[in-house]
Amino acid sequence: MALTVAELIAEGIGCLKSAGIDDAEIAPRSILQYLLKQTSSGLQVIIDKTVPEETAELYRKLVKKRCGHVPIQYILGEVEFYNVKLGIDRRAMIPRPETEILVENTISILNSFSNPYVLDIGTGSGNIAIAIASNVDNVKIKAVDISDEALNLAVENARLNDVLDDIEFIQDDCLRERFWEEVGRFDVIVSNPPYVDAGDFDKLQPEIKLYEPKIALITPGNPL
């Protein structure tokens, strides 16, 4: 028998609580919003409507992934960052809400320049560069990452947000001996670099240590 949205939410919450998932009350709603193409308020409007069995089965599969500590952003394949929608998967670290403060401060500085030139080190999914390009007029950005996979994702996201012409993506290592000689001069350099000491890696949440790329987390010079 087909279940309602409310019944599926309750089912998902029960499964996630049993697995000890922190966002057990939130993830089921996020998954159903994604599958049913609804906003939070839109989902509430149809809370007593039945969900097609095919959709319900897909919902259960995604809830099961979350029970295995797969981050909800990787499950849905998307994340919102500074009012910009980005594709996200295991090629790059999930953008953190705290990094929006860095972007906001950077945008405030860049607004004093007429044609600012920015270097983004460790661009990952491209979130910082894309958010800046989407909010600053006449900006040009050079976005660098050591990971080809992350850069491919960043290019996809720049194209998705129609700022690919404003950002030059380059595979390089900022710790390479001649990097700073060759990269050029910029008005602003911005970065959200790896921040975890190798000795603390095993203390991280399963969502982080099991699924996010280690290269984006572990501070250079501290290999696992």
Tens digit of pLDDT for each residue in 43-64? 999 999 999 999 999 999 999 9
Task: Please indicate, yes or no, whether residues 103 and 62 belong to a single structural domain of this protein.
Answer: no
- 221 domain residue, yes or no: no
Q: How many domains does the chain have?
A: 2
Residue at which a domain ends, from 68, 92, 116 = 68
Greatest distance between any 2 Cα atoms in the chain? 67
Residue at which a domain ends, from 41, 68, 95 = 68
Q: What is the pLDDT of residues 62-75, one digit of tens each?
A: 999 999 999 999 99
Residues contacting 158, CB < 8 A, separation 6+: 126, 129, 130, 133, 164, 166, 167, 169
Split at pLDDT 50, 70, 90, the class of 224 is very low
Task: Please indicate, yes or no, whether residues 128 and 205 belong to a single structural domain of this protein.
Answer: yes
Q: Is the pLDDT of residue 140 over 60?
A: yes
Q: Which residue is listed with tokens 């991280």?
A: 204
Split at pLDDT 50, 70, 90, the class of 221 is low
Q: Is the pLDDT of residue 1 over 90?
A: no
Question: For the chain, first and last CA: distance in Å?
Answer: 50
Q: Which domain holds residue 113?
A: 78-216
Q: What is the mean pLDDT of the chain?
A: 95
